[in-house]
């Protein structure tokens, strides 16, 4: 295997933590810098938010049925939510202390939400993108002054609200620690995008990308890769610049791939596509938690961060969205082209001590091996399409995978 850059040199005492949960925004104000964070005393926790599309069970077209589905599923307060449009619904797991617990929570919430969707003639679709074109005007969740202003200011960008991601929260972290950790997790965001790539089709055609959602969503001026923060004060200034420039209406519109949560003491990883396979979902959470644990250890040991060029990282992000797991990637530290699979294996090697300490190494290794053998979500969608050139077949495949627990 080709080792990615200098990052796989990270070794040391294994962490005894697990990983975290939260929601969105920016961190609580703090005067600390990003260079003095230490490992939290308590074990890390994890939590996941998953977004789903709602499609008509007969026509496979998107339907604005979220209010009906959410009302039927109202027995799960705090766990099921509206999203940006009425074509979408969201689940949010409770704080989990193990990957096994997280998987059980995800399965239970998917099962409940899927049942509510079927009650209204819908199917739940764990897909990042509208495979078929959205018909008619966009149905936003609420006709509120905020949503009207968002649509007025950002125009056609609001069409990309009809897309679904998986947000992984790792905690408990104060804002100083979350900012410091984000700098060390940031180089691996392209690899997480490649592992989760699941949006090759958008609006009725093949986009030529494995994760078109990653490309479409980065059109928002407040989205994409976060800056490298020199301090917590720098983080807050960057958020304020988004607000002052008009790039974001409020802190809820800080759409970076990685950010300290504004509601919870967590670091939120927002880069991955939504994907139907539960084991892949758990793998992403395991890797996120292990990346944070590795970064905490390295920060506590005062290790210098490896040199990283922002232009190379930006290109690595595009290449991950374009090629996915089956093609090539750019080493974020050197810019060297190498098979994306090698970089994914390099990530597993980097965080293996932390995965082992959390009891996740066996599951993570087996799930990654299955992904490399069977292909990413994008690869599987294209394989289904190739048989009969049918996007309905693709949608049927996605619906079946979504409901396969």
**Residues recorded for the chain:** 405
Structure tokens at 153: 């200011």
> Which 3 state secondary structure label does DSSP give 258?
strand
40-53 residue pLDDT tens: 556 799 999 999 99
Cross-strand pairs, 258:
269
114 burial type by CB count under 10 A (0-12 exposed, 13-18 middle, 19+ buried): buried
Q: What value does the mean pLDDT take over residues 309-330?
A: 98
What letter would DSSP give residue 59? T
Using CA atoms, how far apart are residues 33 and 153, in angstroms rounded to an integer? 34
Top pLDDT among 327 and 9 is at 327
- pLDDT given for residue 297 in this prediction: 95
Structure tokens at 33: 């810098």
CATH 3.40.50.261 assigned to 7-402: no
170-192 residue pLDDT tens: 999 999 999 999 999 999 999 99
Is the model's pLDDT at 197 over the cut of 90?
A: yes
Structure tokens at 274: 């939504």
- pLDDT given for residue 74 in this prediction: 83
- pLDDT given for residue 142 in this prediction: 77
66-96 residue pLDDT tens: 999 999 998 776 799 999 899 999 999 999 9
- pLDDT given for residue 141 in this prediction: 82
Using CA atoms, how far apart are residues 252 and 26, in angstroms rounded to an integer? 8
β 255-256/223-224 pair status: parallel
pTM over 0.85: yes
Residue ranges per domain, the chain? 7-402
341-371 burial code (b ≥16 CB/10 A, e <16): bbbbbbbbebbbbbbbbbebbebbbebbeeb
What letter would DSSP give residue 389? T
């Amino acid at each position: 295997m080709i080792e990615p850059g200098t990052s796989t040199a990270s070794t040391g005492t294994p962490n005894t933590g697990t990983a975290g949960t939260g929601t969105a925004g920016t961190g609580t104000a703090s005067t600390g810098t990003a260079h003095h964070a230490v490992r939290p005393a308590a074990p890390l926790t994890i939590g996941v938010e998953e977004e789903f599309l709602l499609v008509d069970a007969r026509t496979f077209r998107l339907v604005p049925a979220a209010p009906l589905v959410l009302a039927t599923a109202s027995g799960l307060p705090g766990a099921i939510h509206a999203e940006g449009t009425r074509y979408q619904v969201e689940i949010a797991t409770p704080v989990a202390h193990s990957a096994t617990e997280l998987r059980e929570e995800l399965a239970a919430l998917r099962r409940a939400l899927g049942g509510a969707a079927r009650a209204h003639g819908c199917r739940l679709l764990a897909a990042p993108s509208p495979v078929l074109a959205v018909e008619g005007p966009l149905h936003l969740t609420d006709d509120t002054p905020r949503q009207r202003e968002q649509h007025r200011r950002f125009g056609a960008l609001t069409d990309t609200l009809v897309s679904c991601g998986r947000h992984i929260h790792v905690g408990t972290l104060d804002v100083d620690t979350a900012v410091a950790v984000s700098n060390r997790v940031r180089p691996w965001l392209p690899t997480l995008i490649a592992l989760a790539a699941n949006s090759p089709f958008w609006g009725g055609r093949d986009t030529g990308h494995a994760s078109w959602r990653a490309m479409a969503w980065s059109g928002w001026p407040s989205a994409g890769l976060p800056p490298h923060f020199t301090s917590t004060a720098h983080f807050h200034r960057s958020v304020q610049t988004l607000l002052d420039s008009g790039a974001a209406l409020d802190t809820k519109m800080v759409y970076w791939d990685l950010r300290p949560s504004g509601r919870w003491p967590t670091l939120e990883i927002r880069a991955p596509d939504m994907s139907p396979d539960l084991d892949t979902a758990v793998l992403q959470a395991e890797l996120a938690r292990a990346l944070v644990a590795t970064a905490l250890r390295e920060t506590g040991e005062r290790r210098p961060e490896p040199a990283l060029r922002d232009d190379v990282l930006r290109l690595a992000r595009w290449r991950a969205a374009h090629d996915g797991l089956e093609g090539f990637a750019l080493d974020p530290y050197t810019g060297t082209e190498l098979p994306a699979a090698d970089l994914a294996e390099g990530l597993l090697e980097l965080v293996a001590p932390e995965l082992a300490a959390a009891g996740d190494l066996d599951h993570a290794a087996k799930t990654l091996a299955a992904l490399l053998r069977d292909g990413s979500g994008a690869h599987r969608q294209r394989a289904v399409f190739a048989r009969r050139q049918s996007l309905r077949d693709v949608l049927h495949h996605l619906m079946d995978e979504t409901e396969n627990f």
